[in-house]
Homo-oligomer: A and B are copies of this chain.
């Protein structure tokens, strides 16, 4: 049996509910965040909690608990659920039960935990085929629940036999619906968009690691530069690093995972293990 935390108590997953008047349901008004655990050990939880509270604050959402209370609720949830291997913990704060169905009030908090399957070595070697699409999320720095475009595009991805889609606007790329993007330029620099993105935690860790290895630039990247990069990869909590091997039907580099991508992936895996070991 799996448990979900709602506001102040733990419920069996099938009994964890919100009333239909909540502003998340009525107006899609809510923020969330999502981190991993490995054998019940949270990975970089403080980074995610920082971002969660920041998202809420940006949208005037009142999380009804303190950070300390949420940490305790997460610890108890992990203890109750006892999920071996990898899991994902999702914290969600809504606009609450708004009397006028429009104005945010005291929010509702949900914390869920599910087992998650991370991509293995095979998936890494296989790489990702992506397409480009003109779009920018509203409030890109905020992890809101608005995924209208990302979900709507799923149908097109199927038709194009693509694994994911990267957004651009005015010819400048930003991010995937649920991941950040990096390129390795032909002259050996690492670059990643600086603005109009969600500031990913995996992105942040990769940037830390990369600074030891090669020149790093946070700046605008055009669609054309993306398509002519030596290497391209994506980062996210559930994907770690995955090589992008084709864009709009054309291969990236020689169409195989690149050397820098592989080095950073290995370093990130080591960083993750080190963190989990130290936190025990």
Contacts and interface: CB of A to CB of B under 8 A. Distances in A.
Q: Which 7 A-B pairs have the closest CB atoms?
A: A28-B28, A17-B17, A27-B147, A28-B145, A28-B146, A16-B20, A24-B25
A277 interface: no
A22 B92 CA distance: 13
B19 A14 contact: yes
Given A139-B148, A145-B25, A155-B60, A112 B17 contact: no
Interface residues of A, number: 46
Contacts of A152: 59-60, 139
A144 B148 contact: yes
A103 B151 contact: yes
Interface of A: 4, 6, 13-14, 16-30, 32, 59-60, 90, 92, 94-95, 101-104, 110, 112, 135, 138-139, 144-152, 154-155
30 contacts: A4-B20, A6-B20, A13-B19, A13-B21, A16-B20, A17-B17, A17-B20, A18-B20, A18-B25, A20-B92, A20-B110, A24-B28, A25-B92, A25-B94, A26-B90, A27-B145, A28-B29, A28-B144, A28-B148, A29-B147, A60-B152, A95-B151, A102-B147, A102-B154, A103-B154, A135-B138, A138-B138, A138-B148, A139-B152, A146-B146
A127 to B, nearest CB: 21
A149 B58 CA distance: 12
A114 to B, nearest CB: 8
Interface centre among A23, A138, A154, A155 (most CB of B within 10 A): A138
A214 B13 CA distance: 59
